[in-house]
Amino acid sequence: MAETTAGRTSEDRGVVVALEGVGVRRHTNGQTILSEVDWTVRAGEHWALLGANGAGKTTLLKLLGALMHPTTGGVEVLGCRLGRVDVRELRTRIGHVSSAQAVPKDVDARTVVLTGHSGTVQPLWRTYDDEVRGRAEALLAELGVKELAHRPYAVCSGGQRARILIARALMPAPPLLLLDEPFNALDLPSREDLVEAMQRLAESRPDLATVTVTHHLEELFPAVGHALLLREGRILAGGPVGGVLTAPWMTACFGRPVRVVRHDGRWAAYSGSLTGERADIGAEATS
Interatomic CA distance for residues 14 and 79, integer angstroms? 9
Say if 286 falls within a structural domain. Answer: no
Domains in the chain: how many in total?
Answer: 2
Looking at per-residue pLDDT, the higher value among 248 and 9 belongs to 248
Mean pLDDT of 196-206: 95
89 and 180 part of one domain: yes
Asked if residue 267 has pLDDT above 90, the reply is yes
Confidence (pTM): 0.88
Indicate whether 195 belongs to any domain: yes
Flag whether 285 is in a domain: no
Q: Which of 20-24, 113-117, 180-184 has the lowest mean pLDDT?
A: 180-184
**pLDDT value for 80:** 95
Same domain, 54 and 37: yes
Mean pLDDT of 105-133: 94
Read off the pLDDT of residues 33-83 as tens digits, 9 standing for 90 and up.
Answer: 999 999 999 999 999 999 999 999 999 999 999 999 999 999 999 999 999
**Secondary structure (DSSP) of 186-219:** --HHHHHHHHHHHHHHHHH-TT-EEEEE-S-GGG
The Cα–Cα gap between 97 and 99 comes to 7
Specify if 278 maps to a domain. Answer: no
- For residue 34, list its beta bridge partners: 24
Same domain? For 68 and 38 the reply is: yes
Q: Is residue 50 part of a domain?
A: yes
Domain boundary among 121, 142, 173: 173
In a shared domain, residues 186 and 236: yes
Same domain membership, residue 70 and residue 186? yes
Q: Is 83 in the same domain as 186?
A: yes
CATH of the domain at 34: 3.40.50.300
* pLDDT tens readout for residues 141-176: 999 999 999 999 999 999 999 999 999 999 999 999
Last residue of a domain, one of 246, 262, 279: 246
Q: Domain check: are 78 and 217 in the same one?
A: yes
Are 70 and 179 within one domain?
yes
CA distance 256 to 233: 18
Q: Does the residue 259 lie in any domain?
A: no
Q: Calculate Rg over the CA atoms of the chain.
A: 19
Does residue 183 fall inside a structural domain? yes
My answer on whether 21 and 154 are in the same domain is: no
| Predicted local confidence at residue 88, as pLDDT | 92
pLDDT of res. 102: 81
Is 254 part of a structural domain of the chain?
no
Instruction: Return the DSSP state at 11.
Output: G
The residue among 173, 203, 229 that closes a domain is 173
* CA dihedral over 164, 169, 172, 175, signed as positive or negative: negative
Half-sphere exposure in the Cβ direction for 276 (13 Å, CA): 2
Asked if 180 and 79 sit in the same domain, the reply is yes
Task: Please tell me whether residues 159 and 19 are part of one structural domain.
Answer: no
Could you tell me if 64 and 199 lie in one domain?
A: yes
Contact 280, 259 (CB under 8 A): no
Q: Is pLDDT of 3 > 50?
A: no
Which residues form the domain of 128? 101-173
> pLDDT of 220-248, one tens digit each?
999 999 999 999 999 999 999 999 999 99
What's the mean per-residue pLDDT of the chain? 89
